[in-house]
Structure 1
Amino acid sequence: MRILIVIDDYFNQSNGMCISTQRFVHEYKKMGQEVRVLSTGEKADYPVPELKINIPFIHGLIAKQGFHFAKPIRKTLIKAVTWADIIQIETPFPVSWRAAKLAKKQGKPVIGTFHIYPQNVTASVPFLNNRLGNWCFMLFFREKSFKNCDALQVPTAKVAKWLNQHHFKQKLFVVSNGISDKFINNSHKDKVGHPFTILCIGRFSHEKKQDTLFKAMQLAKHSSEIRLIFAGQGPLKKEYEKLAS
C-alpha cells in the first residue's frame, strides 16, 4: 500500500507530534508498506517551503515554539496525492487540509491524526484561552481542518469521547502514540538510584504545566535528595531557568 504522510514539520526533533509521526512511518515501513512524506525539509519525499507568518506577535510565538508551518504548493500536493493509495494528515493546518481536499476529489481515503488541541495554541495567547476561544478552534478543526477525513486517529479514549461531544462525524480509532523500542529494550534498574531523579521531557509551554513540578519540589519533604531534570525547549525556557536557579 502506498501511504502519503502530510505534515508541516516532519524532521523536527523537539516536537512530540513530529517524533510520534516518525515512529509511525518507521513501523509502517517495517510492515512492508511504501511510505512517502510531504513536509518542509529538503529530505522529504515531497518537500515544500516554509509558510512564513509575518504578524509580529504570532511570528515570535511560533519561533519560540520551534515549529515550522508548511506552505501548500498545489503542484507538489497533486503529485503526492496522485501517487498515494491513502493519505494521512498529521496537522490541522493549510498543507494538510489542502491535501485532504485534493484526495477527496480523487476519491482516495483520508485519515487524520488528532495531535493538536485548541489549548496548544490558546494557552500562550491569554485573550483566546477561554471557553469561547477553545470552542472556536474546535469548530474550525471540525468544519475545515478535518472536514475531508474519512476517519480520525486519536491517542486515548478520553480524546475520542471529547471529539464525539463536539460532533465530529468521522469514525474514531484509538491508537496510542507509543514509545520507542530503545526505551522498552533498555535494561532498567531494579533499585532506585541516588539522588532520586525525575526527568521531565517536553516543550516548555503553558499548557504543559511543568511549573507544577517546581511547586511540588518546594513542598517535598525530601527535595534535597531529588534531582529534577527538564529536557526541551519553548517560550517558557528562561522563566523555568529562573525558577531553577
Structure 2
Amino acid sequence: MRIAVVVDTYDDMGQGTTISARRYVGELRKRGHHIKVLSYSTNPEPDKIMFDQYRIPLFQHLVDKNRVNLAKPDVKKFEEAFKDVDFVHIYIPLPFGWTAAKVAHRMGIPVFTAFHMHPGNVMYNLKLERVPFLERFGFWFIKRKLYRYSTDIHCPTQFVYDTLKKHKYTQELHVISNGYDDKRFYPMEVERPAHWKDKFVVMCVGRLSGEKKQDVVMKAIARSQYKDKILLVLAGEGPKKNAYKKLANKLKINTEFTFYSQEDLPKALNAADIYVHCAQVEVESISCIEAFATGLVPVIGNSKKSATHYFALDERSKFKDGDYKDLCQKIDYWIENPEELKVMSKKYAEHAKNYVLEKSIDKIEKVYQNFLIKHQNTKSQKQQEKSLVMGERLVKPVEEEDMIEENVLS
C-alpha cells in the first residue's frame, strides 16, 4: 500500500502522538508498504515532506508553553504529495489535518483518520474545562472540519469508541491500541541511581500540564506517613513545571524533575517502585502501558474523560479522580505490602503483552486493506451507475427513432 501519513509534528519525541506515528510508520515500512510523511520539520528524512510551522494568532503562547509544533497547511504541497497514494491517514484534527482531508477528498482519494486528540485537552489549556457545552461543541467542530471527510476512524481504546458514539459519530470505528515496543520495555535488572537506593520511588511520565494533574500525586505524598521515604520523579516538560517546583518546595516533598530519552526511559521505569497516573483527559497513554510492561505497578485516576484506568487489574490500582487522600492510601498500601507488589508486578508485565506494537500493526494492516476494498467497491459502483445513466441517455433517442421508423413503414 502507498500511504500518506499527515501528522503535525514528527520530530518531537516528547509527544505521544509523534512516538505513535513513528512506530506505526517504521513497522509498516518494514512490511513493504510505502509511507510518505507530511509534517512540520526541520530535519530532512527519506520520504518525509517538510512543511513550515503554523503559528496561531492570540493563542501561540499556549502552544509554545506546551512545547508543541504545528504544521502550516500548503494546498499545492498536498496535491503533489497525494498524486500517487492509495489513501491518506490523518492523525490530528487541526488546520494541517483538516486541510489535507479536504484536498484529498476533492482529489477523490480516500481519507482514513485517527482520534489522538480529545477536545478536553484544548479546553484545559484554555482554562475552560469546567464549561461542559464547550467540549460538546469541540466534538461537533472537529467532526465538521475533519472527520466528515473520513469513512473510518482509528480509536486507540474502547473509551474513545464509546465517546465518539456518544457524540453521534457515524463512521466505522476501529479499536486498536497504539501499541508499545516490547523489545525495549520489559522487566530487567538495573542498578538504581545512588540517591534512589533508600527511597520508595514513585514515577510519573508525561507532559507537565493542567489536564495531567501531577499536583494530585504531590499532595498525596505530602499527606503520606512515609513522606520522607518517598521520592517522586516527574519525567516530562510542560507549562506547569515551574509551578510544580514551587509546590514541591512548599509541600517539602522529595521531588526530581527530569526528562528521559527513549533509550534511558526503560531503565528508569525498571528502577522505580510504582507508577502513578493522574491525568483527567487521556485517549490511551502509551507511557502508562510502557510503565507496567516493565512490571511497574500503576495507580491510576478513574477520570470519566480518561481511558487509562481501564488498564487497572483491580481496585488497588485505581483512585478517585482528583482525590489526593484516596491516592495517598493507595501509595501507602503498596509501601506496606512489598510482597503483594512483587506478585502484581509479574501480572502487569504479562497484562502488557495484550498491547504489543506488532499486534497493533497486524490489526491496522487488515483495517487498511478492508478500507481500500470498501472504497474501491464504492468507486466501481459509482462508475457503473454513471455508465448506466449515460447509457440510458444514449439509448433513449435510438428507441424513439425506431418507433418513428416503424410508424412510417406501417
Give the 5 Å matches for 1:34-45.
34-42=34-42, 43=44, 45=48
Instruction: Give yes or no for contact 2:120–2:129 (8 Å, CA) kept in 1.
Output: no
DSSP-derived class of the 2:231 partner = strand
Equivalent residue letter for 2:218: F
Residue 214 of structure 2 corresponds to 210
Give the 5 Å matches for 1:89-238.
89-127=90-128, 129-185=130-186, 187-188=188-189, 194-238=198-242
Residue 51 of structure 1 corresponds to 54
Structure-2 separation of matches of 1:27 and 1:243: 42
Residue 88 of structure 1 corresponds to 89
Structure-2 separation of matches of 1:129 and 1:80: 41
DSSP-derived class of the 1:159 partner = helix
Residue 26 of structure 1 corresponds to 26
Aligned length: 242
Shift of 1:173: 0.7
Q: Deviations over 1:157-181 (max 9, x none)?
A: 0110110010111111111122223
Q: Deviations over 1:175-208 (max 9, x none)?
A: 112222354345257xxx6422222111111111
DSSP-derived class of the 2:174 partner = strand
TM-score (norm 2): 0.56
Structure-2 separation of matches of 1:127 and 1:157: 26
Equivalent residue letter for 2:51: V
Shift of 1:71: 0.9
Structure-2 separation of matches of 1:12 and 1:60: 18
Instruction: Give yes or no for contact 1:40–1:48 (8 Å, CA) kept in 2.
Output: yes
Residue 4 of structure 1 corresponds to 4
* Superposition RMSD in Å: 2.0
Residue 332 of structure 2 corresponds to none
TM-score (norm 1): 0.92
Structure-1 separation of matches of 2:199 and 2:2: 49
Give the 5 Å matches for 1:42-81.
42=42, 43=44, 45-55=48-58, 58-81=59-82
Sequence identity (%):
33
> Which one has a larger percent helix, Structure 1 or Structure 2?
2
Structure 1: segments with no counterpart, 5+ residues: none
Instruction: Point out the structure with max Rg over C-alpha.
Output: 2
Equivalent residue letter for 2:149: N
Equivalent residue letter for 2:123: T
DSSP-derived class of the 1:8 partner = strand
Structure 1 consecutive aligned stretches of length 4 or more whose deviation exceeds 6 Å: none
Shift of 1:145: 2.0
DSSP-derived class of the 1:83 partner = coil
Q: Deviations over 1:203-238 (max 9, x none)?
A: 111111111111210222222222211111111111
1:17 aligns with 2:11: no
Structure-1 separation of matches of 2:97 and 2:151: 14
Structure 2: segments with no counterpart, 5+ residues: 191-196, 250-410
Shift of 1:105: 2.4
RCO greater where, 1 or 2, for CA within 8 Å and sep 6 or more?
Answer: 1
